Structure 1
Amino acid sequence: MRLPDMPLHDPFVVADEETRTYHLYTSNDPSVSGVEGTGTMVYRSHDLRDWTPPVPVFLTAEQKNLWATDGGWAPEVHKWAGRYYLFTTLHDESQPLPVPPPNRWGTPFPLKNHLRGTITAVSDSLLGPFTVVAPERPTPPPHLMTLDGTLHVDRDGRPWMVYAHEWLQTIDGTMEAIRLAPDLTETIGDPVFLFKASDAPWLGEQIPAGVPGRLPPYITDGPQLYPTPDGSLLMLWSTYEKNLVGPDGNISGGYVQTYAVSESGDVRGPWLQRRPLVRDDSGHGMLFRTFEGRLTMILHRPFENARGKLYEMELNGHELRVVRRCTDLDGGG
């Protein structure tokens, strides 16, 4: 299989040096894995060009007393304390959360909040099976509607979960972080606010002045943390650029891949926003290094019927840029 033939959303790559194998994790798709159910599957490759058919590594139906069985979004696998930990987001629409009061924008549309959050599962192998460590609840505080949790280990070796706090609760979506216990089963302390989506100054800069009507939500999505050699910390994240005005006056826009920088190297920031890396309805990317040492970004495009797209990247200090699109690997399009 090659990337143009591989349905995937929210791709995450683990480059396993021991086996010289790339593991590409995404939500389970029964049409290609051949296995029904919500969960995570993995494609494997030695060269980023030719991939094995995917195999499931996690299925919610195989877990005992799991608080939710829908979703399976944005799976990531991280090595921690000699084992492999899967982070993926689940939700349960039958468990409603209170609707928050209107904020400074008011509530422009009915908000239906329900239990959503990232779970943590563990395995001794990159191929699973993964078992949820705390099946009775999501890892972030359950009264918050959250998604896309990712692992960050700070300079003192302490684990954190960084996640997106849904715009459905906040209108202006935020990125937040919370400390994790050493076994990643529980959180420590309260969430820390990192930034809000509208902090990106380019968001909406093309909306004509004087457009009447309500402001759309501002979305945070797909965080991934990447330490730089100069001691800074990058965060890849995605949002929707609001630069189109329809005949009805409503404002819309496309999915974009952008990033922010914490020059202090601390996950708590302060975070400085950079301009988008890739537009064209692309996003939820992550950085990894190939076995040859090339810094590479993978993301999905388009949002619907998504496929993986690969980019060679350059890091100059803490400034990130696209060198080229790897059409020889991802087939173009």
Structure 2
Amino acid sequence: MLKKNDIRIRDPFILSDRDSNTYYLYGTTDENVWNGPATGFDAYKSSDLKNWEGPYQVFRPDAGFWADQHFWAPEVFYHSDQYYMFASFKADGKCRGTQILISDNPLGPFQPLTEEPVTPRDWECLDGTLFIDEHKNPWLIFCHEWLQVHDGEICAVRLASDFKTAIGDPIVLIKASDAEWTIPVRGETEYVTDGPFLHRIQSGILLMLWSSRSARGYAVGIARSLTGTIDGPWIHEEQPLMDEDGGHGMLFKTFKNELMLTIHTPNQTPNERPVFLLVEEQNGKLVVII
């Protein structure tokens, strides 16, 4: 058995399977996440978030797969009796994109749903996540990367019901510099967005967790939709939810029905570890308790 401090992982994501009383932990797991050839994605499983089994090889590309580097931030969702993985991939001469993979098992093996990413092929994109709206329509929420647009954006595009294609053009939900707490990562006008995750609180308010750089380092902020719908408008909370060199957050419910936040911290390779923090809703806002 492993403890969470034994698991080196970036961009942690938890899938809770209540039928089997099992938590599945996914994330960026390659030894060299920034340079060199990519290997794939590994996952871990646990019944208590303390003792973990693994790693399990959940994705390894076949010889014809288009990408060979920067295999980042896999997220796995159970939808229509299948498991779908949303993950970022990159190759020389090709833009980074979010590709969707599919499996009938949470531990894979996952196979690409299509030959190409679902994000625009001339956009540098990353950190795609799934959102199902009030009409049961699926949406891809993703980052349009600061390396291309300078002021990083988080965008949304409708997905076809089979997740194979995008419907229409992406819309911009937020820009990183719009938040009061962000600072540039380079120069005076270059701001990062990464790790979007949408969550509707008990009052019906739709929140978006996302990460950027604050004066204290890597941080998780929150934006909220004034309409409760994906197209907003979105406003930023003045202060980040977490501001202690940890980020790329997502929320999940434990089997005790507790709301938990997971992030990786610190944000320095190779020391990243998953962290699980209890969160409560207080007066329409999220507050980290532990």
Q: Distance in 1 between matches of 2:283 and 2:158?
A: 27
Letter paired with 1:309: V
Matching of residue 39 in structure 1 with residue 12 in structure 2: no
1:282 aligns with: 246
Secondary structure at the aligned position of 1:11 is classed as strand
**For residue 171 of structure 1, what is the aligned residue in structure 2?**
150
Greater shift, 147-156 or 213-222, is seen at: 213-222
For the pair 1:254 / 2:217, whether they are aligned, the reply is yes
Residue equivalent to 1:48: 49
Normalised to the residue count of structure 1, the TM-score between the two structures is 0.81
Do structure 1's residue 235 and structure 2's residue 198 form an aligned pair? no
2:228 equivalent in structure 1: 265
Corresponding position of 1:123: 103
What is the identity, as a one-letter code, of the residue corresponding to 1:132?
P
C-alpha contact 2:209 2:249 (8 A) present in aligned 1: yes
Contact residue 57 and residue 129 of structure 1 kept, 8 A: yes
Amino acid across the alignment from 2:109: P
Which residue identity lines up with residue 58 of structure 1 in the other structure? F
Counterpart of 1:300 (choices 264, 271, 280) is: 264
- 1:53-92 correspondence runs (5 A): 53-60=54-61, 62=62, 65-92=64-91
Matches within 5 A, 1:138-177: 138-177=117-156
Q: Secondary structure at the match of 2:105?
A: coil
Q: Give matches, 1:173-188, under 5 Å.
A: 173-188=152-167
What code does the residue aligned with 2:91 have? D
Residue identity opposite 1:261 in structure 2: R
Identity, in percent, stands at: 40
2:195 counterpart residue number: 222
Structure 1 residues 2 and 85, CA gap change in structure 2 (3 angstroms): same
Secondary structure, in 3 states, of the residue corresponding to 2:196?
Answer: strand
Which deviations, in whole Å up to 9, do the C-alpha atoms of 1:250-308 show, x marking residues without a partner? Answer: xxx61111111113221111111112111121100100010001100010001112001
Q: Over aligned residues, Cα RMSD in angstroms?
A: 1.8
Q: Where does the alignment leave 5 or more consecutive residues of structure 2 unmatched?
A: none
Number of equivalent positions:
281
Which residue identity is paired with 2:75?
E
Larger radius of gyration: 1
Determine if contact 1:261/1:318 at 8 Å carries over to the other structure. Answer: no
CA contact (8 A) 1:228 1:317 kept: no
